[in-house]
A and B are shown apart, each in its own frame.
Chain A
Amino acid sequence: MKSSVIAESGKLRWIVLGRDPDRNPQVIDTNQYLIVADGQGMLLDPGGIEIFPRVLAELTRHLALDRIRILFASHQDPDIISSLPLWLDLNPEAVTYCSRLWTGFIAHFATGKDARMVGIPDSGMRIGIPGSSAQLLAVPAHYCHSSGNFSIYDESTGTLFSGDIGAALLPDHEAGLYVDDLRDHIALMAGFHLRWMPSTVALRGWVARVRALSPTLICPQHGSIFRGAAIAQLLDWLDSLEVGQWDDGAPAAAGKRVAA
């Protein structure tokens, strides 16, 4: 597994951990993001049990484990947060933030531990990293794809963690860390969005919220990071999608649209 600093502002750094060449091919590739502010950490979508050892091993380079103050789960899927008990073993004081819809569900991953959970209200909230001046914004991303879903925005660096939005299934771990031009990347994202995302209205609402933030980086949980011109291209492409599609192979009914 590799790690790279992708954004920095004063004493705050964003680090991506991913692109694991030794990953079990049955396990979907994921990006984990670590925010380090004033020596305190917030781990975004810490990942699944299977990849935990490699994530942890890589993370040891960047931050003392007992300084991980916050574990953030964009939603409730196993590739997002099933490693929760393993992180809590190392740092029982860490607080887990997730949608208020999922606190009782994610607690199932905690395997008997008294996880300290904070349910984020539907409208979002500011999340401060204890021991630092950093304030992150939990941006609603409901139904993109999970019914209780959040992105995380950092105003100081303009970095947006988008969870599954903008996610791509990359061919291998050698794929580029950044997307500079969207055209070649769409094919890797299309199926993921059309099938996983259930609501066009919700997706367009998220795009509108993100346009208002004007991020300089959009960091998905799978695939490459968007920067520069690729950001506007991504938002335009997302705006053009009619998601929630499933081609059951039956003759198309009137008005039914099938993914191109």
Chain B
Amino acid sequence: MPQPAVPIAAFTAHDVEAVLAAQFAHQVDITRLFSVGVDILNAARALDTMGFELQLLARNGVVQAAQLNHGADAAHAGEGQTLLALAEILSHCPRQIAPEVAGLGAHCRAIASHTATCTSLARRHTQHLKSLLLVLGREGGDAGAATLAAQLETVRLGEEAGLVVLQRVADGLQIEPVVRTNIRLIAARCSAALRELERLLEETGTCLRETHGMLHGIGRIAGTVNYLGINVAIEAAHCDRRGENFRQLAADIQATVDGFEQKLLAIRLSAERGRVLLKALGA
């Protein structure tokens, strides 16, 4: 059943500005979401680099431990065995982390890409919506009795329902056919933009949720590396002067793991900000 046309009268510049101000706030939230996407992507790239550093440290550890074992005299025989075993276990960790980090990177790239598209889309949508309101304001004039201002509330949320209301407003106006056609075209464009925004925001939300699971897996491996690093430090302490290189190695592992955990935390916090923004955007 066709919806009744909405009469229009006090469609003032003030009403239009109020709608556009709300629309602008919506647009700003989407831009903030893009900034979150970029933060996450940068942190993921840093993780990738750290994963490589960790790999180098582990390989260095294997070589050092092998040398220690090989050059040991009778008094220190077997000293390097434990370190070699630790270094070899350690050398497997980067290989475990690499695919996890790569998967996280793919999600982070998707988040950054989706949110970048959303930013551009929202900006264009605002300009199209502004055009639509200007045409309705111009064509509405003083005809009708009720004010449109209250009905414009629905447009503020950037939801498609608001556009349906605007379309009904247009249907109630005595206007030239070409103007009516153009109102429909602009409204259709606005609706399509909102649907695309909704889809991208939903996909962003899915990526953020999956990111959360991946962070847990990477954090677990980082914890193992940390534990191995501590063991290397303990073993190195028993090696007197010959363990100096391992003490340095343990310190380097600790620093890398600390950096890793900081980046993981940064991603978690950014993802949380992203979820809050998505909620505000109604996604």
List A residues at the B interface (Cβ < 8 Å).
Answer: 49, 52-54, 56-57, 59-66, 85-86, 89-90, 111-112
Contact = CB atoms under 8 A, between A and B. Distances in A.
- Residue from A60, A89, A111 whose CB has the most chain B CB atoms within 10 Å: A60
A86 B127 contact: yes
30 contacts: A53-B127, A53-B130, A53-B131, A56-B131, A56-B186, A57-B131, A57-B134, A57-B135, A59-B182, A60-B179, A60-B182, A60-B186, A61-B179, A64-B181, A64-B182, A64-B185, A65-B181, A65-B182, A66-B185, A85-B120, A86-B124, A86-B127, A86-B128, A89-B128, A90-B128, A90-B185, A111-B120, A111-B124, A112-B117, A112-B120
**Interface bin, chain B:** 20 to 34
Given A60-B178, A61-B178, A90-B186, A54 B134 contact: yes
Contacts of A59: 182
B200 to A, nearest CB: 13
Contacts of B240: none
Interface in B132-160: 134-135, 138
A237 B176 CA distance: 44
Interface of B: 117, 120, 124, 127-128, 130-131, 134-135, 138, 176, 178-179, 181-183, 185-186, 189, 193
A56 B185 CA distance: 12
Given A56-B186, A89-B189, A90-B186, 17 more contacts: A52-B131, A53-B130, A54-B134, A57-B138, A60-B135, A60-B178, A60-B183, A60-B186, A64-B181, A65-B181, A65-B185, A85-B120, A85-B124, A86-B128, A90-B128, A111-B120, A112-B117
Q: By DSSP majority rule, is chain A's interface helix, strand, loop, or mixed? A: helix
- Residue from A52, A57, A65, A89 whose CB has the most chain B CB atoms within 10 Å: A57
A94 to B, nearest CB: 13
Q: By DSSP majority rule, is chain B's interface helix, strand, loop, or mixed? A: helix
A65 B179 contact: no
Q: Nearest 5 CB-CB pairs, A to B?
A: A57-B134, A60-B182, A53-B130, A56-B131, A53-B131
A90 B189 contact: yes
B118 to A, nearest CB: 12
Contacts of B185: 64-66, 90
A52 B178 contact: no
Nearest to A90: B189
Contacts of A89: 124, 128, 189, 193
Contacts of A112: 117, 120
B136 to A, nearest CB: 9
B25 to A, nearest CB: 18
